[in-house]
Structure 1
Amino acid sequence: MFAAASMPNIEKLVLPRWCYLSKNSFGFAFSKWKNLKTLIIAHDVPLTETFEFQVVGENCSNLTNLKYLGGLGKETAEEIVRYFKNIKRLSLQCAYVSGPGVLLLITGLQNLAILNVSHCKEFDDETVTMDNIVQAATQKRVRFIRCSNNCTCRNKRWLEGLRTYGSESWRKDEIKELEF
């Protein structure tokens, strides 16, 4: 709340995974950040419980860039699609994702131009294959970034992905606007 009051015109914000407070503090902070264009968040459900996508979306209509580290199932994807309608660049680098969630982001975000899923760990879900996702991205002309076939990220446990938070490899991104 102190940061929101003293820096109301920020355009880029990185939220550490331990800073989530009440819905009221979220509402106050994000109501001050009307010019926010880039949001980088690490969302760790056991530590932070829910992230207030609705509060951010209702207050930050200029938000076009999002980097999300956390578990991305279908429900989280639905919230991103519902509340972040202007997203053009989305990075899920190092996140734990489901195929249906990623497919929903591609089909539901009307302005999406670039999606980075490099170094992601996938939920075991055979209803949507990577071929389905690539096909949807191609049809919608979304630049789809993923790991090469010889990447070792698929062998890592998801908690190892969360440990990448703040590391040099996570701070860099294939999407220039989402580096920090």
Structure 2
Amino acid sequence: MEEGDSLLTLRRWDDLNSDILRKIFGSFDYISDATSAIAQVRCSAVCIAWRSILCDPQLWDVLDLSWLKSNFIKIHQEPYVYVDSRSDETLSRVLKVSLSLSRGNITTLVLNPELYISDDQLTFTAERCPNLKRLVMPTGDRIKKTGICQAIRNWQELESLTVPGIMYPPYLMEVISNHCSNFRELKIMGRFDVRFASTLVGTYLPNLKVMSLRCSQLVREALITILDGLPQLEVLNIAHCVLLIEPPRRNQPLQIVEELDEVILEKASRLERFITCTQIDRCIMCQRARNDGGIMKWYKYEEGLWKQDEVNTLAL
């Protein structure tokens, strides 16, 4: 080596400045088909120092697994879906490491509608993030009554819930009413009928303040039921809904309400916000909802479209 040349200083991964690393880990965005949570899980395996930094509570307020989907096929027997074992193992591994790193600091959990979580995985999650305030649930085909009820009992601070349709029977609303005194926001993505509306206004969630049914199949009588029976309701979003005159009948065309009548408008006038779509004929989302009969097939459209909502606190 000639005089004047400098030696290249080699540094180890765990010698990097911890504040810089913390900022990097906290600014992860979506990476191909993975979420920031998955990227953090992978980084935690690099060295002990990185894993220690990744235990910072500020990095784990939100566990966003909205881009993690199951590899599955539909079957004719319970639970009516078969999930590939490798897909299940990936979910279990991500949950195990994420929940270990988070140390109970997760307050928001977001799961993809096409993520088929099992009872054991849900219970494992609930036990390790007891301070959860917002939950975005996946399709519930593999989740039994005991699993979801046990999970909700652990989430006594729950304030907001998003479910992809009324796949969860009335007992879900009952257990929320009994154990989640701060619950105030509900989003239903799918079919909303009179039976489910009656469940909400009966003895379960009379104090609900914010509700979104956007892009759902909504029966007119069910809409009137919640407008009459939820006196604390402040915000209701029915944008892009397929509003039906009566419940759908097998092999019969849907009887769609083309324009909101005076009865509905009068009842909704007490709300702080009543959100509807004013350009139904030109609105792409309204046309998609009608084409799908109000049961949106989100997989056909842009990735992440299901996350949108006109109510800011429910958008992702």
TM-score over 0.5 (shorter chain): yes
Structure of greater relative contact order (alpha carbons < 8 Å, 6+ residues apart): 1
Aligned residues with identical type, % of pairs? 28
Residues 1:5 and 2:127 are matched in the alignment: yes
Q: Which residue of 1 is the match for residue 193 of structure 2?
A: 73
Distance of aligned partners of 1:32 and 1:160 in 2 relative to their CA distance in 1, 3 Å threshold:
closer
Q: Is the 8 A contact 2:192 2:219 kept in 1?
A: yes
Q: Which residue of 2 is the match for residue 105 of structure 1?
A: 226
Cα-to-partner distance string for 1:84-119 (whole Å, 9 max, x where unaligned): 222111000111100110111111111100100011
Distance of aligned partners of 1:68 and 1:75 in 2 relative to their CA distance in 1, 3 Å threshold:
same
Q: Is the 8 A contact 1:67 1:90 kept in 2?
A: yes
Residues 1:135 and 2:255 are matched in the alignment: no
What is the rounded CA distance, in whole Å, between the counterparts of 1:176 and 1:67 in structure 2? 12
Alpha-carbon offset, residue 167 of structure 1 = 4.8
Distance of aligned partners of 1:19 and 1:36 in 2 relative to their CA distance in 1, 3 Å threshold:
farther
Opposite residue 136 of structure 1, the aligned amino acid is K
Distance of aligned partners of 1:22 and 1:163 in 2 relative to their CA distance in 1, 3 Å threshold:
same
Distance of aligned partners of 1:166 and 1:77 in 2 relative to their CA distance in 1, 3 Å threshold:
farther
What is the rounded CA distance, in whole Å, between the counterparts of 1:28 and 1:178 in structure 2? 24
| Gapped regions of structure 1 (runs ≥ 5) | none
Alpha-carbon offset, residue 156 of structure 1 = 1.9
Q: Which residue of 1 is the match for residue 305 of structure 2?
A: 169
Instruction: Say how many residue pairs are matched.
Output: 175
Q: Is the 8 A contact 1:73 1:97 kept in 2?
A: yes
Q: Is the 8 A contact 1:94 1:170 kept in 2?
A: no
What is the rounded CA distance, in whole Å, between the counterparts of 1:9 and 1:112 in structure 2? 25
What is the rounded CA distance, in whole Å, between the counterparts of 1:31 and 1:110 in structure 2? 26
Q: Is the 8 A contact 2:217 2:294 kept in 1?
A: no
Q: Is the 8 A contact 1:81 1:109 kept in 2?
A: yes
Q: Which residue of 1 is the match for residue 293 of structure 2?
A: 158
What is the rounded CA distance, in whole Å, between the counterparts of 2:205 and 2:297 in structure 1? 23
Alpha-carbon offset, residue 57 of structure 1 = 2.1
Task: Give the TM-score normalised by structure 1.
Answer: 0.85
Task: Give the TM-score normalised by structure 2.
Answer: 0.50
Alpha-carbon offset, residue 159 of structure 1 = 6.0
**CA RMSD across the alignment:** 2.5
Residues 1:95 and 2:226 are matched in the alignment: no
Alpha-carbon offset, residue 142 of structure 1 = 4.2
What is the rounded CA distance, in whole Å, between the counterparts of 2:173 and 2:302 in structure 1? 22
Residues 1:42 and 2:164 are matched in the alignment: yes
What is the rounded CA distance, in whole Å, between the counterparts of 1:166 and 1:39 in structure 2? 23
Q: Which residue of 2 is the match for residue 114 of structure 1?
A: 235
What is the rounded CA distance, in whole Å, between the counterparts of 2:233 and 2:239 in structure 1? 17
What is the rounded CA distance, in whole Å, between the counterparts of 1:12 and 1:26 in structure 2? 15
Q: Is the 8 A contact 2:240 2:276 kept in 1?
A: yes
Cα-to-partner distance string for 1:132-174 (whole Å, 9 max, x where unaligned): 2111011x23421011233351542326624269953331211
What is the rounded CA distance, in whole Å, between the counterparts of 2:173 and 2:271 in structure 1? 26
Distance of aligned partners of 1:50 and 1:162 in 2 relative to their CA distance in 1, 3 Å threshold:
farther
Opposite residue 66 of structure 1, the aligned amino acid is L
What is the rounded CA distance, in whole Å, between the counterparts of 1:31 and 1:20 in structure 2? 19
